[in-house]
Structures are given as C-alpha cells and as structure tokens.
Chain A
Amino acid sequence: MIELRDIAFSYPGSDFRLAVPSFNLSEGERVAVVGPSGTGKTTLLNLIAGIAVPQAGQIMLDGQEMTGLSDGARRTLRADKIGFVFQDFALLDYLSARDNILYPYRITSGAPLNAEARARADHLAEACGLSGKLGRRPGALSQGEQQRVALCRALVRQPKLILADEATGNLDPENKSAILDLLFSRTREAGASLLAVTHDHDLLPRFDRIIDFADYRMDAEGAA
C-alpha cells in the first residue's frame, strides 16, 4: 500500500532532519508509530499524504509514485486515497455533525455529493453510535462523539489509507478504547490500511506492527 525508500527530509532553516531508509505498509495492515516528541512522526504522515515533499527518496502510494507529482496531483491523490484523523478532531463549529462528515465532498471536486455519499455518511454515523446526533453542531457533542464524527469524515470517501495523528490523545480511557475499536473495525470493513501515531503504550498491543520512530531520526550532524 505504501512504500518509502531512502527518504531524506528537512525543513528549510531548521536543524531537523528525517531519514527513512525503508518503510512499508501493506494493504489492511494496522501500524502504530511511537517515539519521543519532535522525532518526526507527524512529518512522516505529512510526507505520506503529499503535504510535504522529501528532498530525496521515493514514496509509492497504492502503486503510484508521489514525489514526482505536481501539487495538484498530490492533492487529488490525497483527497481520493487518504483519510485523516486529528488529535484535536478539527471539526468545523458552524457545521452540523452530518455536514462535517460530508465536508470532504464539499471542498474537493473528485467525487460528487450524491445520495450514495449521503447514505454512506448516515451508515457510518450509525455504526459509530451517532444516530440522532447528526443535526447537532460539534459544540453540542462530547469529545468522544466529536472524534467519532472526525472518524466518519476520514472514512466517508472510502480511502485506502487512514492516517491518525494522536487520534486518542484528547480522550479519556473509556473513549480511547471505544474510538480505537471503531477505528479498527471501520478500517477493516473498508479494507483500508491504518497508520497511527500514538503516545499511548497501552494501545500498542492491538496493532499489527509497532515502529519506534526514533530509529529513523537523524541528528543535527546527520549521523544515523
């Protein structure tokens, strides 16, 4: 599903450098990325999503080489194949839960917002326990419910890959487990892969594979 080869990345004017000699994520695989803050876990997600472009190396997403693509093509690929779940949910306070779920359709031109899409949104919401709450705005939902809405938004366009950046970081233990259950079950049902950055070591045993990201970090002098 994802293949990274000899990736080197640094931010302009910064000492931060990231090197990933090799990284693979198979279809349907669920991988957790752990490591201290500032080691580049979020940067890895941005590279895979095509938001950041490495100075060297190759990134293959679903058989397509990303690094050579234009900004627009990378954006289209991201919209079509990747779903994001953020730590702070990143829901829009002025939209209802239903409109938040359908938001990717409204801001991208790849797929039309039709009856099928609406039905899929309702199905996802029901599966995530949001029935009866779709008309509410985020301010009227609990944090757990907000993250469920964010999860539905990530899945509504049937992506091949879900990138979760500290998706359970703002939740209480009960909601953490519930959201992770949903994340696993929904991605499995959708046949999608999951790459999740987390600091929560209690959840790690549930992943297929764990990557300690500190291994990929290059220090300021460039030593591995």
Chain B
Amino acid sequence: MNTLYLAFAYLRFHWLRSAILVLVAALILSVPLVSQVLLDGARTSLTDRAEATPLVLGNRGSQLDLIMNALYFSDDRAEPVTMAAAEDVWDSAMAIPIPLNTAFETNGARIVGTSLDYFEFRDLSIAEGRQLAVLGEAVLGAATAERLGLSPGDTVVSAPQNLFDLDGVYPLELNIVGVLAPTGTPDDEAVFVDIATTWVISGIGHGHEGVVATDADADEVVANAAIVEFNRIMPENIDSFHFHGDPDTYPVSGILVVPDDERAGTILRGRYLDTANPLQIVVPAEVVGELVDRIFRIKSLLDAVTVIVGAAAFAAVGLAVFLSYRLRAREMQTAFKLGARPGMIIRLLASETVILLACAGMIALAIVMAVQSSGDTIVTWLLAT
C-alpha cells in the first residue's frame, strides 16, 4: 500500500511526463486492436451485404466500383446504364430488377433513387412517417435523420453538382415523409427517393408554369423566356411535372437483379458473358470475396509493420522510464540509507510502471470500445468514401 502511495504521488507530481507516457503506450496498444476491430467489421459488413445481394447489373468496367456503388453507395461510380437494361431484365421474366441512381447528394448523404422493391428486398421498415408515394418525396436512413436532426415534414435540398455551371443541375427541395428503422448498414446513411425524382434532379423531368397550348388538339406548347421552373414538388404543382425523351434512355447507376431462382440467375449471367456487350452482370459475393482476401493479405503485412513500430515505440518508452530511474538514483540511495530493502525499491519502480501500463491499457480499451460501438458507422463511412 505504501509503495502504491509513493508511486501515485510520483506520477501525480510528474503528471505531464506520466500523461505523455500513458498516451504513447495507449496508442501503441490501441492501434493494432482498432485496426483489427475495423477490419473485422469491414469484412462482416462487406460479406453480409454482398451475400445478401444476388446479382448486380451495370456498365462494363470496374466490377469493384459497380459493387461498391450499388451496395455501399460509394463515390466511385461506373458509367451509368439506361433503364432499357432494367426493362430487359424485367422482360426476361426471370428476375426482378431494382434500379438505383446514386448520382446526387444532400448534406453529405447519398440520394438513392430506387423503386419500392428495394425496401422489400433489403427488409427496410419505416420507423417514423410513411413510405414514398409521389414524386419529390424522400425517406431518410436512420443515421442521416439523426445526424441532420430531420423528421417527416422537414425538407432537404439536393446539392448542386457544380456551383459555377449556370446550365447545370438545379437543386430540388425534397419533402421528407419517413425515416427508416436503423439497420447498421449503408442504408442508414442514405436518403431514398423514387428513381423518377432523381431524374427530376438531373433535369430530365421538370415542372414549370407559363406554358400554354397553341390549341386544344395540338401537341405544341408555347413558353416565354421568363418561364419559372419549380424547385419543389408540391400537390399544387405536381401535375405540371413531366419528362422529356425516351424513358428507356433515362440513366441508372446500377441495377440490383433478384432472380426467381438459381437457374434463372445462371441463365441471366450467361447473357452478359460476352465481353462485347457494354453491360455486365456480377456476383457481389465473388467480387467482395476477392477484395476481402486482398485486404487481409495487406493486413498481415500491416500487422508485421505494427509489431515493428510497436516494439520500437515500447523501446523508446522503456528508455524514457529507464532514464527516469537513473535520474532518481539519489532518491534510491536515500531510501537505501534510511533502511529500505532493494526489493522495496524495485517494487516502487515496478508499481509506477504497472500503474502507467494499467492507465494506458484502460485508455486503449476505451478507444477500442468506442471504435467498436460505432464500428458500423465508421465501416460504412470508410466503404462509402
């Protein structure tokens, strides 16, 4: 007890030096543990979502980009395909196509344009409000709703793609009608809208006033130069919203394909094997499996580096502690002259070291627990960026 009292008194008096030693040791201990927690979380998150998604159809290019965008709504996007690709899947009568358009953002969250099938496919339930019903409505993921402090009745505005492009996409104010229950997946971070709403954001569809028909039977309309486009879709103006061009040419980032059975899935995969086909269909579990293998090959290298760096850092901390003991030689000599046993002096120094390491261990544990508790969010963020 006396030894602990003296050890605490010494460490408290030299609090800055003690704090630095504790922090350094805590970091050395926590870095490999945190990386292990995050990697395990990433592997679970990647694998679970990939295994829950049978097929993804998209433009031929990087399979990884296609998967990461379709599953995790990441920034890396392959060239968009058209709705014709989804129609082809539908016409095959072997699978349900779920189109995704992830081209836009709002307040740091990805706007995901999709169909109602997506919610059923991902087993997403509404925790507050209601499901999407008409154009211009949005349902928020749980984390995004909490982060932005938004609830049904509020609105969010889509982010302009380029502030300096006067001819570019104008922001659209979205009416929030629902908030999803948390799932611990990238869906928590998204803002879901009907896919047609994303086409309004991109300018393919719009609503405006000041347009008159030349006569009742004519297809032609006349508008003046001061035509006002609506930047929010509301009951009083929704009827004026319309789309231009062939719907088959409207863009989608990717299409989740849910085959009726394994045979249907195999047949569909065969249809896109030809490398001359601008479209490809991929199995997320295979692509993610390769990615996870690579990550863990790199991790084993990182582990070796961490061990070396950790050993060097611990050696530096050990040297600092040793030099501190040498500086205290006079104190030890006094203790010896006053009748202290060598064992007591060793116990005193050991107590100080154990207290430092215990504090470092507790801080490292707290860091690891903090990372673990918000692991899903961190992993989702890491995968989405």
Distance of A69 Cα from B346 Cα, bound (Å): 23
The answer to whether B338 and A103 touch across the interface, beta carbons within 8 angstroms, is yes
Closest to A110 in B: B339
Partner of B339, one of A76, A95, A137: A76
Partner of B330, one of A90, A95, A103: A90
B331 proximity list for chain A (CB < 8 A)? 90, 92
The answer to whether B338 and A108 touch across the interface, beta carbons within 8 angstroms, is yes
Q: Which of B4-12, B36-44, B142-150 contacts A (4 or more CB under 8 A)?
A: B4-12
Known: A75-B341, A104-B339, A107-B2. Contact between A94 and B334, CB under 8 A?
Answer: no
| A151: Cβ under 8 A from any B Cβ | no
A99 proximity list for chain B (CB < 8 A)? 9
Known: A90-B334, A107-B2, A107-B335. Contact between A72 and B341, CB under 8 A?
Answer: yes
Interface residue tally on B, bucketed by range: 20 to 34
Closest CB in chain B relative to A56 CB, distance in Å = 24
A153 proximity list for chain B (CB < 8 A)? 338
The answer to whether B339 and A106 touch across the interface, beta carbons within 8 angstroms, is no
The answer to whether A107 and B338 touch across the interface, beta carbons within 8 angstroms, is yes
* B316-343 vs A, Cβ < 8 Å mask (1 yes, 0 no): 0000000000000011001111111100
A108 proximity list for chain B (CB < 8 A)? 338-341, 344
| A119: Cβ under 8 A from any B Cβ | no
Closest CB in chain B relative to A43 CB, distance in Å = 13
| A78: Cβ under 8 A from any B Cβ | yes
The answer to whether B339 and A78 touch across the interface, beta carbons within 8 angstroms, is yes
The answer to whether A79 and B9 touch across the interface, beta carbons within 8 angstroms, is no
Known: A105-B2, A106-B5, A107-B344. Contact between A84 and B338, CB under 8 A?
Answer: yes
| A16: Cβ under 8 A from any B Cβ | no
Distance of A93 Cα from B9 Cα, bound (Å): 10
Distance of A99 Cα from B251 Cα, bound (Å): 79
Distance of A105 Cα from B344 Cα, bound (Å): 12
Distance of A106 Cα from B331 Cα, bound (Å): 14
Distance of A75 Cα from B336 Cα, bound (Å): 8
The answer to whether B10 and A49 touch across the interface, beta carbons within 8 angstroms, is no
| A113: Cβ under 8 A from any B Cβ | yes
| B13: Cβ under 8 A from any A Cβ | yes
Q: How many A-B residue pairs have CB under 8 A?
A: 60
Partner of B6, one of A49, A72, A75, A106: A106
Closest CB in chain A relative to B24 CB, distance in Å = 21
B339 proximity list for chain A (CB < 8 A)? 75-76, 78-80, 104, 107-108, 110
Closest CB in chain A relative to B356 CB, distance in Å = 15
B340 proximity list for chain A (CB < 8 A)? 75, 79, 107-108
> Which of B335, B336, B339, B341 has the most C-beta atoms of chain A within 10 angstroms of its own C-beta?
B339
The answer to whether B9 and A94 touch across the interface, beta carbons within 8 angstroms, is yes
Interface residues of B in 1-40 (CB under 8 A from A): 2-3, 5-6, 9-10, 12-14
| A86: Cβ under 8 A from any B Cβ | yes
The answer to whether A51 and B337 touch across the interface, beta carbons within 8 angstroms, is yes
Distance of A105 Cα from B334 Cα, bound (Å): 14
> Which of B14, B335, B337, B344 has the most C-beta atoms of chain A within 10 angstroms of its own C-beta?
B337
Closest to B333 in A: A90
Distance of A87 Cα from B334 Cα, bound (Å): 12
Closest to A49 in B: B337
Distance of A75 Cα from B9 Cα, bound (Å): 25
B337 proximity list for chain A (CB < 8 A)? 49, 51, 78, 84
Closest to A107 in B: B340
The answer to whether A104 and B338 touch across the interface, beta carbons within 8 angstroms, is yes
Distance of A107 Cα from B340 Cα, bound (Å): 5
Distance of A95 Cα from B9 Cα, bound (Å): 7
Distance of A79 Cα from B336 Cα, bound (Å): 10
Closest to A94 in B: B13
Closest to A76 in B: B339
Known: A72-B341, A105-B2, A108-B340. Contact between A94 and B335, CB under 8 A?
Answer: no
Distance of A113 Cα from B336 Cα, bound (Å): 18
Closest CB in chain A relative to B18 CB, distance in Å = 11
With A94-B14, A108-B339 known, 20 other A-B pairs at CB within 8 A are A51-B337, A75-B340, A76-B339, A78-B339, A79-B338, A84-B337, A86-B334, A90-B331, A92-B334, A94-B12, A94-B13, A99-B9, A106-B2, A107-B338, A107-B340, A107-B344, A108-B340, A108-B344, A110-B339, A137-B13
Which 4 residue pairs are nearest across A and B when measured between Cβ atoms?
A79-B339, A94-B13, A107-B340, A106-B2
Q: Please list 20 pairs of residues, one from A and one from B, whose beta carbons are closer than 8 Å in the complex, sorted by A's number.
A: A49-B337, A72-B341, A79-B338, A80-B339, A84-B337, A84-B338, A104-B338, A104-B339, A105-B2, A106-B3, A106-B5, A106-B6, A107-B339, A107-B344, A107-B348, A108-B340, A108-B344, A109-B341, A109-B344, A113-B2
